[in-house]
Chain A
């Protein structure tokens, strides 16, 4: 297993277009997170899945954002009608169940979105 992967790594789109990002977590990880990171800031929580269930969603996530994890494995994050303020790095992380430190989140390399 090579870790958490994200696709694409970079996406440039025009304002108003829809974009979709994919995250493939580490295979045995049942928990999956999406974060957004802008310049000079830390990762900002967007949403959390346990298996296929979306258990928490940030209030910062407008109705234009939707995330799915249909089979409890890979996940997609879609942004509809993109705005320039959506330009950011979108990070995915996964982890297993359990309170031990070795169960902490493993992050993917991120998808950098630029909205023109």
Chain B
């Protein structure tokens, strides 16, 4: 049972344009969501998070949007840079638990 789903395995975007990565979840008990970035031969790196009490969180070029009614979150990267090329994972957690549930990842390629 895949509770966190990233339905697009890959995405290509031109440098300078917006990258939008999507994530859907099924468990309504999730109340904290995160995005991680992973380069080859490295572990995932935390990027940005959002609590379910918010619908938007922004950090520099990265913005995460949460739509609780649709059980959907998205990561916007503006402007996209070639160094953003990586695999992006969304993850979710329920307060009071220790387990993070990850999606299958989306490979972003930013073309120069």
B side interface size, CB within 8 A:
24
Chain A interface bracket (under 10, 10 to 19, 20 to 34, 35 or more): 20 to 34
**Are A109 and B89 touching (Cβ within 8 A)?**
no
**Are A45 and B104 touching (Cβ within 8 A)?**
no
**B34 nearest CB neighbor, chain A only:** A104
**Are A104 and B43 touching (Cβ within 8 A)?**
no
Chain A residues whose CB sits within 8 angstroms of the CB of B36 once the complex forms: 107
**Are B46 and A106 touching (Cβ within 8 A)?**
yes
In the bound assembly, the distance between CA atoms of A108 and B42 in angstroms comes to: 7
- If A42-B104, A101-B49 touch, whether A107 touches B44 (CB-CB below 8 Å) is yes
**Are B100 and A45 touching (Cβ within 8 A)?**
yes
Chain B residues whose CB sits within 8 angstroms of the CB of A107 once the complex forms: 36, 43-45
**Are B101 and A45 touching (Cβ within 8 A)?**
yes
Q: Which residues of chain B (25-43) have a CB below 8 Å from chain A?
A: 34, 36, 41-43
In the bound assembly, the distance between CA atoms of A110 and B39 in angstroms comes to: 12
**Interface residue? A40 (CB, 8 A):** yes
Q: Which residues of chain B (73-106) have a CB below 8 Å from chain A?
A: 89, 91, 97-105
In the bound assembly, the distance between CA atoms of A42 and B91 in angstroms comes to: 9
Given B48, B100, B104, which contacts A105 in the complex, CB threshold below 8 Å?
A: B100
**B87 nearest CB neighbor, chain A only:** A42
Q: Which residues of chain B (1-57) have a CB below 8 Å from chain A?
A: 4, 6, 9, 34, 36, 41-46, 48-49
Residues of A in contact with B (beta carbons under 8 Å apart): 4, 31, 33, 35, 40-45, 48, 50, 55-56, 58, 91, 93, 101, 104-110
